Amino acid sequence: MKRTKPHRLSVSTENTTTQTQTGQVISAHGRHYFVELKDSGQVVKCFPRGKRGGICVGDWVDISTQGERAAIERLHERSNLLYRSDEMRTKQFAANIDRLLIVLAAEPMFSEDLVGRALVAAGTAGIEPIILLNKADLDSVAVARQRLQPLADLGVPIFEISALDPAQVQSQLLDLLEDKTSLLLGQSGMGKSTILNALVPDAHAHTQEHSAALGAGKHTTTSTRLYHIPNSSGKIIDSPGFQAFGLAHLAAEDIVRGFSEFHDAIQHCKFYNCTHRHEPGCGVVTALENGQIHPDRYALYQRLLTELESQPKY
Ligand SMILES: Nc1nc2c(ncn2[C@@H]2O[C@H](COP(=O)(O)OP(=O)(O)O)[C@@H](O)[C@H]2O)c(=O)[nH]1
Ligand SMILES: [Mg+2]
Ligand SMILES: [Zn+2]
């Protein structure tokens, strides 16, 4: 669909045709975005038309280009959106994701609380989670493996990898990533950028080691970015680390849904509106007492509900 616009003095008269094209947002930088065009693969710097916030990496958009200028005109409907909310602010991780790759390591030791939250967020957004237990070359991996046992028991797939061995990472992960868009998520220092480098050698993602070698001090990924995996139809998104993972945007029912091990137990609750805390005849509390629900998971559930209740109401 082509439309001719009247010439304006400030614009080059060579190209005044407005073109509308579809593309995917591959990185977001506050005011502007980089969009990869679906047809040509060309990457275009775009500004949102007007005050349209909320566009994030992974989004499909229609853009219009006129000469050198490109504007995002329309945001396509998303299949999902992964985000967190902390202290009244929401932070979007990425949209249209098939897989959440939760990257963990024993050095520094990962936080079980944050992993639990990421799993709840994935569950409620309908995104399949996979845990990548990285730095498997270190002896300390045994401690991490043990701490992950409750999640392994729940059926969350766990892959042990060493990102320092790219050939091994490729043989373990490439099949899994084929045809999918996967998001690398985890605390900083767990090895996300190193895994990305193993899968996308020309991503040149700055790892901390890289910069340390250059004497530039620690460098951490500061923005989210989508990459194509070479010789694969898979896409992978690297993201900055996070220290908090608030879920206050979720309703209590969403939180419950994020705990798959509660599902059967809930069938036995006496009250239909049971919050699974102090109600008599609660199936979840019974399952906890019988050792069918792990106490750490139940404690996380209680923390999430308490946080939800302490949110200001509008
Ligand atoms: N021993 C070991 N170190 C790793 C491994 N993967 C990453 N690292 C190191 O861990 C540090 C943090 O890695 P980085 O990829 O920047 O983590 P990110 O913050 O999650 O992106 C760097 O010094 C990496 O060299 C691994 O599999 N084994
Ligand atoms: Mg990084
Ligand atoms: Zn209950």
Same domain, 104 and 68: no
The whole-angstrom separation of Cα 259 and Cα 257 is 5
| Tokens found for residue 99 | 């897989």
* CATH value at residue 179: 3.40.50.300
Q: Which of 208, 238, 268 is a domain's end point?
A: 238
Q: Which carries the bigger pLDDT value, residue 152 or residue 314?
A: 152
196, 236 contact by CB (below 8 A): yes
Regarding whether 105 and 164 lie in a shared domain, the answer is: yes
Q: Is 224 in the pocket of ligand 1 (CB under 6 A)?
A: no
| Predicted pLDDT of residue 243 | 81
Report the atom number in ligand 1 closest to the C-alpha of 161. Answer: 27
Mutation to probe ligand 1, out of 185, 194, 196 (largest number of atoms < 8 A from CB):
194
Where are the extended beta strands (E) located within the chain?
2-4, 17-29, 32-37, 43-48, 60-66, 69-75, 81-86, 89-95, 99-104, 128-133, 158-160, 181-185, 225-228, 235-238
Q: Return the sign of the alpha-carbon dihedral for residues 7, 44, 55, 20.
A: positive
What letter would DSSP give residue 17? Answer: E
Q: Domain residues for 299?
A: 252-309
- Asked if residue 245 is part of any domain, the answer here is no
Residue given tokens 């490729």 in the structure block: 170
Q: Are residues 117 and 60 in the same domain?
A: no
Q: Do 185 and 210 fall within a single domain?
A: yes
The enclosing domain of 35 has a CATH number of 2.40.50.140
Indicate if 192 and 302 belong to the same structural domain: no
- Regarding whether 204 and 276 lie in a shared domain, the answer is no
> Do 71 and 86 have their domain in common?
no
Q: How far is the CA of 245 from the centre of ligand 3 (A)?
A: 25
Question: Alpha helix (H) ranges present in the chain?
Answer: 112-125, 141-147, 149-153, 166-177, 192-199, 208-213, 252-257, 263-266, 283-289, 295-309
pLDDT of 121 > 60? The answer is yes
Ligand 1 within 6 A of CB of 240 = no
Predicted TM-score of the model (pTM):
0.88
Nearest CA to ligand 1 atom 23: 209
| Count of domains forming the chain | 3
Together in a domain, 278 and 303: yes
Residue 220 CA to residue 195 CA, distance in Å, equals 14
Kindly identify the ligand whose nearest atom is closest to the C-alpha of 172. 1
Q: Tell me: do 260 and 175 sit in the same domain.
A: no
User: Nearest-5° angle of CA 15, CA 16, CA 21?
Assistant: 90
- Residue after which a domain boundary falls, among 48, 75, 102: 75
Which residue minimizes the CA distance to atom 2 of ligand 1?
Answer: 135
Both 86 and 233 in a single domain?
Answer: yes
Q: What is the largest CA-CA distance in the chain?
A: 77
**Per-residue pLDDT tens digits for 25-71:** 999 887 899 999 999 999 999 999 876 668 999 999 999 998 888 99
Contact status, residue 270 vs residue 282, Cβ threshold 8 Å: yes
65 in contact with ligand 1, CB cutoff 6 A: no
Residue 188 CB less than 6 A away from ligand 1: yes
What spacing in Å lies between the alpha carbon of 135 and ligand 2's midpoint? 15
Tens-place pLDDT, residues 188-247: 999 999 999 999 998 875 555 444 554 444 455 667 899 999 999 999 999 888 888 989
